[in-house]
Each structure stands twice: as C-alpha cells, then as structure tokens.
Amino acid sequence: MNKRYDLVLRWFSLLMLVLVCSCEGEPALLVHIEEWPEHAESVQVLQWLDGVASKGFTLRKGSKGFLVYLPEGRQGQIRLLIWGEDRNGCRVSEQELREDLGPALRVTKEQTVRMVEMERKTCLRPAMLELPVGSFQMGSASGDPDASPSEKPKHEVHIKTRFAMAVTEVTQRQYQQVTGMNPSDYKGNLERPVEHVSWFEAVSYCNKLSALDGLPSCYQVAGHRVSWPEGPNCLGYRLPTEAEWEYAARAGVQTVYSGSDNADEVAWSNTNSVGTTQAVGTKLANRWGLHDLSGNVCEWVWDEYAGYGATSPADPTGPLLDGSLRLIRGGSLRFPVQ
C-alpha cells in the first residue's frame, strides 16, 4: 500500500463538503424536505450568494431539513441547488430554491422543497465521503526490505483540513458524461474505472466537473503550467495530495492493504482480475468505506515524484512545468498488489 509510482491511470476527485455556520441570532433560512427522494441515499446542497459559490454539505438519508444562515442587512439573492444521490453518486432527483434578501431581514424564514425525480439519472462523479482531520505515519520503515529509498523515511503527517474523497474510482460512464470521451482500453462495462487518462486530462476533468456543479475551478491551467492557488481550501473538485491519498487508504489502521491484510478481499490484481479491469466497488471497502485504493487501477495525485525528505508533501500550491513526473498511487490489476 505504500508503493509510489510515476506511471499512469486513474484518480479520485475531491470536494470540500463543509457547512459554514454563523453566530446564533442571525437571520436564517430553514428548508424543510417534504419527502425524501425514493432512490436517494444522500442529499447534496450547494449554495450561492449573488452568484458566488459557497461550500456545500451533505445530508444523510432520512434528514428532514437544514438551516442556512443569511447575511444580515444585505440585499441580494441566495440560491440553493439540492439534489439526491443514489449509492453510486448518480443524481436521481433535484430541486432549486431561491430566496431574496433585504436590509430589513431579521428573522428565520421557512421554505419547503420537494425534490423532483429525474427521468434519466446523471452520473457525473462517484459518491463523496467526508473524512476527518487527523495524523498518521506516512511511508515505510527504514528496515523494510520491500520499500524503495523514495518511500523512506517514515514520518508523521498532519491532515489539518477536512476533505471528501470519492468512494470509488471514477467510472467510464462518469468520465464520459463529463468529457464526452472514453479513452479506456478495457471497455464493455461502463462501471469499470476509466483508464489511459493523463495527469493533465485528470486535472481537466476536475475543472469540468466543478463547472457542471456551478463551483469555482481548483486549478489554473496555462499550457503545461498548472497551479492550485487556494490549495485544500478550494471549493471545487480536485486530486488528492499524496498525503491525503495515503491517509484515506490507511483509514486509521495498519493493515497491509487498504482495508485488509488479505489482498484478494480488497483488491483486483494480476492474480484475480482475469487480465481486465473490474467494476468499481465490487471488492470490500476499507474501514472508512472507500473502495479499490489497493488494486484495480492506479490513482493520480497532485504531487510531483520525489523522495520524502524531512517533510511531506511539498508546497501543494506551486506550479510545475511538466505533468510526466506526477505521482500515482495504489497499484493496478497488472501487478501484484502493493
């Protein structure tokens, strides 16, 4: 699970899903959900104030409503986009809500929404799972004979910003609905992970997905220069840092693979994949509910390939001229699981 590669294939895109709360006593909008969407496992809420996106949040199945604090004494309009997701992250119902603001607003207002079932569900991305902040030991011990020098030394890393990780690999169906293309070699089942995607194409997918959800792009791209100006505080979808990836894969335990000491339980590899990728999420999840972080296909991360040195990761906001040395993690079906 600790192996690091500067090779190819797939990635996880992320979105910060945090509800920003204000002080008690401010005016607020109380939104009641009249009826939970029939096929939804969760409900996503995105918010805009006068066209500027704010951080979104997730409601778990059965929630009856939520509260949004409003800026007191300000004119403008609050816009909420609310949609239900099935277990695979496909959008199955949606509703939009707008509320006009005025300087005289001093009290809590109430609205009721009933999300409309969609005739054709859209599957733009996997379901997202918000992970806690915390610390972990990253890398391999100095005495590990199977570890390369670039995987050492083992050192403590602090994850200080909450983030949400895709529960599964991005599927061919999801990538195709966002980009209009499917570059994968292993076709025949659109629920297989997308592969043969370059690092630049992965970044482009993240930005396109952000645009489709009305969120600001995390990445600024100019030719072969890609920067990440806001770092982990960006509101759109992005690649994880290498530290975030390993933190998610470990899920607070020290198993050999992500979710188990038995590779066959959690990973598709050269010993059980029959020479092809397999549908995402068909092996056991790790302790936090994330699938395929060991095996199936590899994941792109943000970082450049380099030794750990004294700290990791390096400055995540700095641009690089060439994406060919960017890291991937997780191993793949063509090799023994790492």
| Tens-digit pLDDT string for the chain (338 aa) | 544 433 333 333 333 332 233 334 577 889 999 989 989 999 999 999 888 888 788 998 989 999 988 777 777 888 999 999 998 889 999 999 998 887 766 677 899 999 999 988 888 999 999 898 999 988 777 777 766 777 777 888 999 998 999 999 999 999 999 999 999 999 999 999 999 999 999 999 999 999 998 899 999 998 888 999 999 989 999 999 999 999 999 999 989 899 999 999 999 988 898 889 999 999 999 999 999 999 999 999 998 876 654 334 444 555 454 555 788 888 777 655 55
* CA 1 centroid distance within chain: 19
Q: Produce one character per residue of 42-67: b if its CB has 16 or more CB atoms within 10 Å, e if not.
A: bbbbbbbbeeebbbbbbbeeeeeebe
Hey, what are 82's tokens?
A: 């609310």
Outline which parts of the chain fall under CATH 2.60.40.
Answer: 28-120
Please choose, from the candidates 16, 285, 281, the residue with its C-alpha nearest in 3D space to the C-alpha of residue 130: 16
pLDDT of res. 268: 93
Quote the pTM value: 0.80
Residue from 230, 227, 301 nearest 12 by CA: 301
Task: State the distance between the two ends of the chain, measured CA to CA, in whole angstroms.
Answer: 5
Task: Please report the pLDDT score of residue 20 as a whole number.
Answer: 30
- pLDDT reported for residue 258: 92
Q: Residue 297: what residue type?
A: V
Superfamily of chain region 4-15+127-329: paralog of FGE (formylglycine-generating enzyme) (3.90.1580.10)
* CA-based radius of gyration for the chain: 21
CB 3 within 8 A of CB 327: no
What local confidence, expressed as pLDDT, does residue 336 receive? 57
- Interhelix angle 199-212/172-179, nearest 10 degrees: 70
* CA distances to 21, 295, 321 from 234, in Å: 18, 29, 21
pLDDT at 25: 56
Q: Which candidate, 143, 160, 150, 30, places its Cα nearest to that of 97?
A: 30
What is the per-residue pLDDT for 51?
Answer: 83
Tell me the C-alpha distance between 148 and 139, whole Å.
Answer: 10
DSSP bridge pairs for 48: 53, 79
Query: Residue 290, SS3?
Result: coil
Label the pairing between strands 91-101 and 220-222.
unpaired
* CATH 3.90.1580.10 intervals, the chain: 4-15+127-329
DSSP assignment, residue 171?
B
- In terms of CATH architecture, what is 28-120? Sandwich (2.60)
Q: Are 63 and 43 in contact (CB under 8 A)?
A: yes
